[in-house]
Structure 1
Amino acid sequence: MSRTFTQLSRPNWSSPIFSKPFTRKSLQLIRGALDSEATPFQLPGWASQDKKRSAAVLIPFCNVNETPGILLQVRSRSMRSHSGEVSFPGGKVDEQTDLSLMDCALRECAEEMGIARNRVELLGALHPPEKSLRGDTVWPFVGFVHLRRSQHKFTPYEPKDDPLSSLDMSAIERMASKDEVAAIFHLPLAELANPSRSRAYMFRNEHPYWAVDVSDLVPGDGQPFVSESLEKPQIDEVGAGREGRLEVWGLTGWYLGLLAERLSSLYEP
């Protein structure tokens, strides 16, 4: 994905299918859009994967108060790396327990957010994966988080247009890992389309993308979150954000833009 600032268009998260709660029908459309490219993408075989240098994240779609959006977390300030930053649930592959890259993403989501893997309906994966600043290849998966555990496998049958159940955010906050997660919040898709929240940055000093200010969306005392990180060169993408803001930026922001691009076939002109 190579473009200039003049070619950087805003993701159309205000598309009609994203203006109402997620349904079985909209999940089927998202699954199809993620798998509709001319050259089908295949994850590398697990046996051939460099597990020591691999990581995975889950981009968790969900409904909250009948509003479609994405779950995000603020990493605990006690974490050794990327403390205080906004991220998707995810982390490095555990060679002893993980059976696949997807298994890694689901395990990390369960450990960090307390969301059981059988509540996550996998919708697809994004590509190409990017490397973290530490050199690990980070594989992004996309899923939908259901309110309750499912007793059967998720399938795309019966694409009904009834709203899927909304999450109980207070329950998720109680179940989240206190060691790894400082806060969990819901980012409505409508706010991703809000131009007052977005700022154009350069990813790895090469590719422009939109960072999203979420300072006022993090649960707390009612006051906007203020980043304690120092101003750093933009190429570093380290810290909670720039100029005291809490932002979805760096690799997390880049993957949000990549997701919007992959779903562009669902937007109406």
Structure 2
Amino acid sequence: MPRRKADPLAALGTALTRPGAASSDFDLNPGIYPQGRKLRPAAVLVPFFDDGSGTRLILTKRASGLKHHPGQIAFPGGKMDPEDATLEDTALREAREEIGLDPANVTILGRLSTHETVSSFTMTPVLARLNAPFAPVAEPGEVEEVFTVPFDHVTDPARFRIEHRYWRGERRYYYTVPYGPYYIWGATARILRGLADRVTGEG
């Protein structure tokens, strides 16, 4: 009999049982780590689903007119509001606002390691799976596009690269994991690299 292919969504649950370290936008630039910053809590949803042909991750392209991180690839998410009881509530609320995802269509798998951003947030990635097919609706003015990426692309450490650019007169290094026309980099790529390490057991 042919060997059954492992369920990628089951692999996500296994990944959560493996240790993972907190990360930051300064991981590859330790010499410029700022001191005395006041960090604010935030959360993002890392939603996977099976479309019948394979497991995929939902990502967004931020609108070009935004003040912070315009045009960048990101998870749906944002800062924690006072009415949010938990960071999971934050991630689900933001996903509903940004891409029209009904929280009832989401099964939370667990939290990934926190990530500190250059914009002074402690970001908690909430790993999740969708329960049923979903047609995204991008929030006007905030989300330019909603797209998906194959599971195997974002959970393979070999697909990640370290690149650099000059910012404020200094060379800054960061992770990237490009996919087609989408340049996935910065915090999003760093969080996915941490997930890839845990999925493959290389972390």
- TM-score between the two structures when normalised by the length of structure 1: 0.58
Q: Secondary structure at the match of 1:98?
A: coil
**Which of 183, 191, 197 lines up with 2:145 in the alignment?**
183
Partner of 1:144: 129
Residue matched to 1:225: none
Tell me which residue corresponds to 2:108: 122
Q: Normalising by the residue count of structure 2, what TM-score does the alignment of the two structures yield? A: 0.75
Tell me, which stretches of 5 or more residues in structure 1 are unaligned?
1-15, 39-50, 148-166, 217-245
1:213 lines up with 2:175 in the alignment: no
- Who is 2:84 aligned against? 98
Looking at structure 1, the residues matched to 152 and 14 of structure 2 have their Cα atoms a distance apart, in angstroms, of 22
Distance 2:64 2:172 in 1: 29
**What CA distance in whole angstroms lies between the structure 1 residues aligned with 2:199 and 2:60?**
23
Matched AA of 1:176: A
Deviation of 1:265 (Å): 3.9
Higher-Rg structure is 1
The worse-fitting range, judged by mean Cα deviation, of 110-119 and 57-66 is 57-66
Q: Give the match for residue 241 of structure 1.
A: none
**Aligned counterparts of 1:198 and 1:264: Cα–Cα separation in 2:** 14
1:251 aligns to 2:187 (yes or no): yes
1:67 CA displacement: 1.8
Runs of 4+ in 1 over 6 A off after TM superposition: 205-208
Give the Å deviation of 1:36. 4.2
The structure-2 alpha-carbon separation of the partners of 1:82 and 1:206, relative to structure 1 and needing over 3 Å to count, comes to closer
* Aligned partner of residue 84 in structure 1, secondary structure: coil
Give, in whole Å, the separation in 2 of the partners of 1:36 and 1:260: 11
Cα-Cα RMSD: 3.1
Closer, same or farther in 2 for the Cα pair 1:253/1:185, shift >3 Å? same
Q: CA deviation at 1:32?
A: 3.4
Gaps of 5+ in 2: 21-37, 165-170
Contact 1:27 1:123 in 2 (8 A): no
Q: Matches of residues 158-197 of structure 1 in structure 2 within 5 Å?
A: 167-168=133-134, 171-172=135-136, 175-192=137-154, 193=156
How far apart are residue 65 of structure 1 and its match?
4.7
How high is the sequence identity, in percent, across the aligned residues? 31
State whether residues 64 and 186 of structure 1, in contact with CA within 8 Å, keep that contact through their aligned partners in structure 2. Answer: no
Question: Which of 59, 68, 72 lines up with 1:72 in the alignment?
Answer: 59
Q: d(CA) in 1 for partners of 2:149 and 2:157? A: 11
Q: Structure 2: how far apart are the matches of 1:135 and 1:123?
A: 26
Q: What's the offset of the Cα at 1:214?
A: 2.7
2:73 to 82, 86, 99: 86
For residues 39 and 112 of structure 2, what CA distance do their matches in structure 1 show?
21
Structure-2 residue corresponding to 1:41:
none
SS at match of 1:70: strand
CA distance 1:198–1:27, shift in 2 (3 Å): closer
| Structure 2 contact 9–55 (Cα < 8 Å) conserved | no
Q: Secondary structure at the match of 1:118?
A: helix
Asked whether the 8 Å contact 2:61–2:146 carries over to 1, the reply is yes
> Does structure 1 residue 200 correspond to structure 2 residue 162?
yes
Aligned residues: 177
